[in-house]
Structure formats: C-alpha cells, structure tokens
Amino acid sequence: MKTASAGVIGILTGGGDVPGLNPAIRAVTIRAIREGYKVIGIRRGWAGLTDILRDKNADNSNNFQELTEEVVNKAGRTGGTFIHTSRTNPSKIKKNDVPEHLRSAYSAERNDLTPEVLKNLDYLGIDTLIPIGGDDTLSYGVRLYKEGVKVVAIPKTMDNDVPGTDYCIGFSTCITRTIALTNSLRTTAGSHERFLVLEVFGRYAGFTAILPTMAGAAHRCVIPEYKFNIEHLAELLSADRSRNPSRYSVVLVSEGATFEGGDMIFENSMTDAYGHAKLGGIGDLVSAELKNQSPKFNKGQTVDILTQKLGYMVRGGDPDAIDSIVPMAFGNLALDLVLKGVHGRLVVLKNGRYDNMPLDVVTASKKLVDVNHFYDIERYRPIYENFEMKPLFIMTGE
C-alpha cells in the first residue's frame, strides 16, 4: 500500500437518490485510499460546493467530509446516498438561494456561482472530481471540465436515460421493485375486477414502464415518446380484462406520458434548479378518463379503477444484485482513469462490456426508447422480437 499522498479526489452525488450510490462511493474510496489518495465526500451534491466558507476556522461540516474505509464500508451495502444529494445547479442559482456571504457579489435573479465553485475546489485541494448523477448533474460536470477541472463521471438515474451508456445505476432496482409492487397489487385489482393504473418515473424516456411490461408485469404501457389515445387505451384494457379469468388488467403510465393533443402534467408551477417542473398526476387523469370511457367497451357498465403512484417506493431501500455489482465496477473504472491521468470521461456499460466515453456525450444527445423498434403504437405494449445480440436490458436508445 502506498503511504505518500497521491492527491485528493472529490466525490458527490446529485439529483434523485437511487439504490447503488453508496456502493459506488465505497468502490471509489477504498481503491483510492489504497492507491494513496485522500478522498473528500462533497455533501448535498453541487450545493456543497457553492456555500463553503474559505476560512480554516469556519464550520464547513455541512459541505464536505473526509471519507475513510470505515465510513464507506458501513454505508456501502445500503440504499440512498449517505453524503446526501440535491438538485442544485451552481450556474443557475436563484437570488434567494445565494449563500448569505456571497449576496453582495451575486444579486441577479439567476446567478452563475461557477467562479466560487472553482475557488472552493482549489481551497479543498481537490485534484479530480467524480460526480455521480443523471444528465442534469453531469451536464454541470461538463461545464467544470471545460473550465479546466479534471472530471471523471459515473452515470446514475432510475430512468436509465443518460446518453452514451446502456446502463445507469438505479435502473435494475427500479425495474425489480416495479415488477414486485405491480404483482402485489394484482390481488386487489383482481378481487374487485378493476383496471390497475400505476404511475412510474420517466420524464422523457419510457424505459421504466416498457421494461416491466416486457417482463410481464402489465398488459399495456404508455410512454413519453408516443402520445396515446385514451379511448383506444380503454378499449385495449377492456379486452385484456375480459380475457383474464380474474377480470382485471394493468397499465403502467410514465409520469411524462401525454394524451393525444395534450402536454405533460405538472403538480405545480414550481421548478427545480435545472428548470424542471415537478411532474405528477398523469396516473390520476388516466384513471378518471378510463373510468369514463369504460362503459363503451363493457356492455354499458363502468369499470372501477385502482390507482397507485409507485414513486419513491421504487427508489428507496437497498440495491439489488445488479445495482450492487455495476456501481462497484463503475467506481473502479473511474479510479482506473484517474490513475492513468485520463479525464473528461464518462464510465459506461456498452453491449455487456465496461468502457468509457467522452463526458460531453451527456449533453450532445438524448437517450429515448426507439419507438420504431421496441414499442407497438397500435397495441401500447413492447415489441417482442429481434432480441438476438441485444444487451441485457434490450433497449439502449441508439
């Protein structure tokens, strides 16, 4: 084991929490320490780098902590992120969110605190930064790389929509939980002979709806990539229900799915630091409309609805096997790049093999379900064919 310090590595997690973040942090930290690095965990995502007081006497414990093998081993098997997270984007800080000690210098309605982030990285002595997040979090990593910061990124998002990689940390656990929760709710749907409508995550990409449906968890799914006709959906679900001896049918609804002629459904007008309004409520609207439409296809009788928003139930708790193994590999891949002096890269899983890509792939394109190849627009369900030589999770967005 090396005893001399090889440098300082900073790690942060941004955006929504998912199972698998702590195993990734653990993998980077243990390997880095054994290679002679000091490892600093930036707390609360990019927020932890915006309000540091650059004074040796200041209490910055809310912003960062030194990571040790003991600390990461305790957290490494658990879900969530023990260094916490946020949706802060330092290049778009609202006036009221500017740290108090910076308000005299940053007083616009929206403020770019990147100069402060760069100073804070220098103050902490961080040589290399490893952000773990989705395309929003990593897009700011691209910004810092262009500013001269050494960045190696790890993709994370339940939606599996970070471009450049077939897999993002959190996706497998999300799919596993979606299937399990759907199967649990089948008994109630069948007991009452209802339509079961489950709203799942997926703002722009429908992977979290289409993969569980492909695995047999649901009869139908509607996804952001294709606007659906509610009357046709009611007809399909009614036919599924009538064929089912237990007299129920199931549809998974992506939170970003939209009716023909409609737009995304938002909970309110508030937006996060990345400019996204909080989605929510499409499941309730679909349920109400299905109930209204159901008599047309059920001999004049209304079909009642069981509605559930799976939400945080699929992102909480411990990681499954894949979200324990892949983060370990991603963390070690990131460290390999650091040791080689290679930066500006995103570690990825492509066609069943680990690799890395230029970091700016996360801002150069969008990763969406290829409707022509994987989604039947007449039947509102996946296409079950041509799986030969496809990767583990079938759809890659390429």
HSE-CB of 272 using CA atoms within 13 angstroms: 17
Radius of gyration for the chain, computed over Cα atoms and rounded to the nearest angstrom: 23
**Catalytic pick from 51, 136, 159, 166?**
159
HSE-CB of 317 using CA atoms within 13 angstroms: 12
Residue 159 a catalytic site member: yes
42 neighbors 162 (Cβ within 8 angstroms): no
Amino acid at 229: N
254 neighbors 264 (Cβ within 8 angstroms): no
Active-site annotation, residues:
159
